[in-house]
Amino acid sequence: MNLIELDRALKQLRLGGMAAVLETRLRQAQAQPLAPIDLLSCLVSDELARRGERLLERRTKQAQFRDSQKTLDNFDFTFNKKMNRSLVFDLAAGAFIARHEDALFLGPPGAGKSHLAQAIGQAAMAANLEVRPEDFEYAPFAQRGGLGAAHRVFGKGLKPLLDELAEATLDGTRKEHMEFLVTVPLLILDDLGMRKLPLTAAEELLEIIMRRYERASTMLTSNRPIEDWGKLLGDAAAVSAMLDRLLHHGHVLKCGPRSWRTKTDLPPQEAAG
């Protein structure tokens, strides 16, 4: 089998990572030289790396973040110095997802809540990118479970999410839509309090939280203190039941009090502060 035939065979076997670097690795083996086992190890590592990258791409696409560039590396922790950095990095490590714990990020608009939530989601998706047999490209999509192993993440503004759920109710796909929302390992609900919510918001949110309780992790951001949620959602009893579950195994991160978006309007010394 010559190089062209070998390349074709690797692609037929869906070993595109090996095929992409085959010629380069063969030249490397001749130049160094590499023992057969070392050459094979390099090719297998190349294939695993390519599949890991594709798995991360699929997870990122599914997450539907507004800005996939929001990471911990580009978050300015110096702006709000009292923020609990230790908690942020503990959450980013992802152990809370395995323990089915929740997290609430509270603070004024512009304090970095959404940025941190998406950054922790990004870290969760990048963790544990071990490629398993069910993630192989030749496995049927249903057998792969769609997008691979944990940690799958889905993030959405609360208002758009409730609107989509209402549409799913009308078109008869509510059961499937809700099943996804209650089973994704990390669900990020963003911006509670930013926009007026439908009358059914408390009921819908309570169902999601109750069904996820101690089964999956939920992260929620809000610019309103939890004492206001009953009035905000129009159902104090439902909110009380929801908070009882969120706070039982929950972490609370207080962001702020300053807004990062308005720091350019502050006096020079204070903006530098």
Give, for all 273 residues of the chain, the pLDDT tens digit.
888 888 888 888 888 888 888 889 989 998 988 899 999 989 888 888 788 777 777 777 776 777 767 888 888 888 878 889 999 999 998 899 999 999 999 998 888 898 999 999 888 887 755 544 444 443 332 233 333 344 788 888 899 899 999 999 999 999 999 999 999 999 999 989 877 888 889 999 999 999 999 999 999 999 999 999 999 899 999 999 999 999 999 999 998 766 665 654 444 443 333
Q: Report the predicted TM-score, pTM, of the whole model to 2 decimal places.
A: 0.71
Handedness of CA 45, 5, 138, 62 (dihedral sign): positive
Burial 223-253 (b: 16+ CB within 10 A, else e): beebeebbebbbbeebbeebbebbeeebbeb
With contact defined as beta carbons under 8 Å apart, do 3 and 21 qualify? no
With vertex at residue 189, the alpha carbon angle to CA 204 and CA 185, rounded to the nearest 5 degrees, is 95
Gap between the Cα atoms of 133 and 140, Å rounded: 11
Gap between the Cα atoms of 65 and 119, Å rounded: 10
pLDDT of residue 66: 72
pLDDT of residue 262: 60
CA 237 from chain center: how many Å?
A: 30
Supply the angle between the helices 201-212 and 158-171 in degrees, to the nearest 10: 90
Supply the angle between the helices 201-212 and 236-248 in degrees, to the nearest 10: 30
- For the chain, the straight-line distance linking the first and the last C-alpha, in angstroms and rounded, comes to 67
